[in-house]
């Protein structure tokens, strides 16, 4: 049923001729699928007739215990109303720009334990959702760098403005400032409003956590992806000229606020790359990923691409024995 390899993603071959059969096939094999994810960190189910959002959503609901709504998202998504909580489009990120390796919502205090990706329309070129084992990444990063992040954590700053990225009202699911302030206070996020109604936030989180099921140490963060040095040079130059170095839509630092230099960010991305597994999308593919054990990315692409994304089985950061507490900064 499964053909895992050290250098490839674990595969399960499905046999279903209709949407109803696809959802039934998933339901009958739910525990086997979850067991494969527990063993390998991710599994790709191939051969399902997932051609519509409703079918993809039904397959996702058949695997997760509980869906999870997104909060503090950094890129726009379309929420697929009527298909269950936590069913979205993929992030609306420029197709010619990569989304580098990261763990989804790793800067929050409640994040999905499972990420599910259902391919309705594969791109004509590129667009792979790649994965990387965060245990192996942690093992191969320089010891001194890991120790520094373990002791200080990592800091994320965000500047919500109407010109770039997602609006704060969309990220927090409300246009009520008081509600946003309450959320920030409850979730260890420092906040500041500017005169134009923009919002700046800052939060510090652990870079290394323990998997809640196995206790294994995992490199769990978005340090490299959301750092200025991972941006395309022309994009970084434009945004810096437009908003200033302190006004970038997002940036990351050591937990004590020390800036990261370009070689350090490049090194983190290089270690991710050394452990990256890729499988081109085929129509109907469904990939189920342990969001703590596996980072994921999205490569640049050409052509149409539609991936239905499910966030499920929410996990509390405090249940992962973080090396430093979550703090506003």
- In the prediction, which pLDDT does 73 show? 93
Is the pLDDT at 206 greater than 90? The verdict is yes
The reported pTM is: 0.95
Question: Superfamily assignment of 137-268 in CATH?
Answer: Clavaminate synthase-like (3.60.130.10)
pLDDT grade for 161, boundaries at 50, 70 and 90: confident
> Domain extents for the chain?
11-95+109-131+279-315, 137-268
**What is the tens place of the pLDDT at every residue in 10-33?**
999 998 889 899 999 999 999 999
Confidence of residue 165 (pLDDT cuts 50, 70, 90): confident
pLDDT the model gives residue 196 = 87
In angstroms, the CA 205 to CA 30 distance is 33
**Domains 11-95+109-131+279-315 and 137-268 belong to one CATH topology:** yes
| Crossing angle of the two packed helices 53-61 and 19-28, in degrees rounded to 10 | 10
Q: Residue 162 has what pLDDT? A: 65
Tell me which residue of 103, 86, 3, 84 sits closest to 43, measured CA to CA.
Answer: 3
3-state SS, residue 244: coil
Beta-bridged to residue 67, according to DSSP, are 312
What is the topology classification, in CATH, of domain 11-95+109-131+279-315? Double-stranded beta-helix (3.60.130)
């Amino acid at each position: 049923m499964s053909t895992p390899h050290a250098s490839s993603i674990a595969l399960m071959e499905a046999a279903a001729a209709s949407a109803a059969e696809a959802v039934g096939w998933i339901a009958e094999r739910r525990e086997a699928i979850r067991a494969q994810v527990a063993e390998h960190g991710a599994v790709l189910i191939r051969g399902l007739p997932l051609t519509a959002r409703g079918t993809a959503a039904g397959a996702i609901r058949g695997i997760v215990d509980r869906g999870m709504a997104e909060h503090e998202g950094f890129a726009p998504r379309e929420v697929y109303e009527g298909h269950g909580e936590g069913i979205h489009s993929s992030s609306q990120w420029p197709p010619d720009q990569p989304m580098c390796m990261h763990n989804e919502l790793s800067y929050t205090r409640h994040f999905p334990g499972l990420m599910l990706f259902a391919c309705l329309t594969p791109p004509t070129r590129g667009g792979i959702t790649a994965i990387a084992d965060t245990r192996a990444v942690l093992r191969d990063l320089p010891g001194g760098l890991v120790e520094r992040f373990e002791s200080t954590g990592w800091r994320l700053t965000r500047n919500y403005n109407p010109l770039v990225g997602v609006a704060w009202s969309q990220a927090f699911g409300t246009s009520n400032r008081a509600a946003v302030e309450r959320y920030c206070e409850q979730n260890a996020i420092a906040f500041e409003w500017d005169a134009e109604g923009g919002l700046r936030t800052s939060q510090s989180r652990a870079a290394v956590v323990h998997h809640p099921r196995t206790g294994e140490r995992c490199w769990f963060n978005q340090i490299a992806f959301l750092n200025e040095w991972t941006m395309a040079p022309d994009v970084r130059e434009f945004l810096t000229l437009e908003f200033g170095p302190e006004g970038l839509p997002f940036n990351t630092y050591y937990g004590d606020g020390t800036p990261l230099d370009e070689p350090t960010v490049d090194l983190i991305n290089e270690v991710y790359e050394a452990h990256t597994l890729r499988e081109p999308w085929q129509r109907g593919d469904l990939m189920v990923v342990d969001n703590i054990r596996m980072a994921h990315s999205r490569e640049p692409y050409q052509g149409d691409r539609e991936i239905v994304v499910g966030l499920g089985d929410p996990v509390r950061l405090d249940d992962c024995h973080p090396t430093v507490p979550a703090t506003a900064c």
